[in-house]
Amino acid sequence: MTEAPQGAAGEGPGGHLDLGDWSRPVVGVLGGLGPAATSVFLDVLIRATVAGSDQEHIDLLVSQHSTTPDRTAGILVPGAPDPGPVIVRDAVMLERAGVDLLVLPCNTAHHYARQVEAAATIPLLSIVETTARAAVESAGGEPIAVFATEGNIHAGVYQEAILAHGGTPLVPDRAVQEDINHLIYGQVKAGAPVDLSLFESCIERVIDRGAGVAVLGCTELSVVYDQHGYRGDDRLVDSLTELARITVRRAGKELTEPFR
């Protein structure tokens, strides 16, 4: 059996798997944050990859750790369970198993990305950086609205990334943010029907404030985008779609026409 990686990534749960007959690079997915979003990410990744057979798709090792503590609570609520060490342990576990790079299909969890990068020796593809870059390109110099969790907004995850890429972030007003919270937690995460008129209203209100595009900076909103007819809407930049695109490219595969 091959020895586990040395250093920080050589300690912790898991062990090296025999991936000799897997296609490189093997992608490790830090999933379950939340479960539906990971399922949609995997589906989008498959649809985004040019493949004429099962064997031409990307090999993945998926950690569906749905019981990871809530990321927004970890940021906003003093004394709440800290998801950071849990996400780090899962990253280390996947590296020890033998994956070549990591993806984290959760935007709020990227508040903890530096902890993952400090513990692992393999690359972590950033859903935030790739989405911010795409949003700045799409916005045509107009402000970019950020639809995200309270924790993500409070931590400035997308605001900082958009500024770093030369864009202007637009944070929703309180009424819109409360509606976004309800869509994320009261509907998608709760498995309840999605109020599409409310989602549409959120988009229209930030466009009316001058936004050129709105970033779907929460993967639960990506579920709405993918499953309710919003794919291709030029008012929206979807974070799960952008993560799927960069994953396909880093895996050395070709993107299908709808995702180019």
Catalogue the active-site residues. 106, 218
* 136 CB burial (10 A radius; 0-12, 13-18, 19+): buried
Cross-strand partners of 31: 64
d(CA 72, CA 91): 20
Count of all residues that appear for the chain in the document: 260
| Tally of helices (H runs) and strands (E runs) in the chain | 11, 8
Cross-strand partners of 214: 145, 236
Instruction: Answer whether 149's CB lies under 8 Å from 71's CB.
Output: yes
d(CA 108, CA 153): 9
Instruction: Answer whether 68's CB lies under 8 Å from 86's CB.
Output: yes
Q: Which two tokens stand for residue 22?
A: 């897997």
Instruction: Answer whether 120's CB lies under 8 Å from 92's CB.
Output: yes
d(CA 2, CA 96): 10
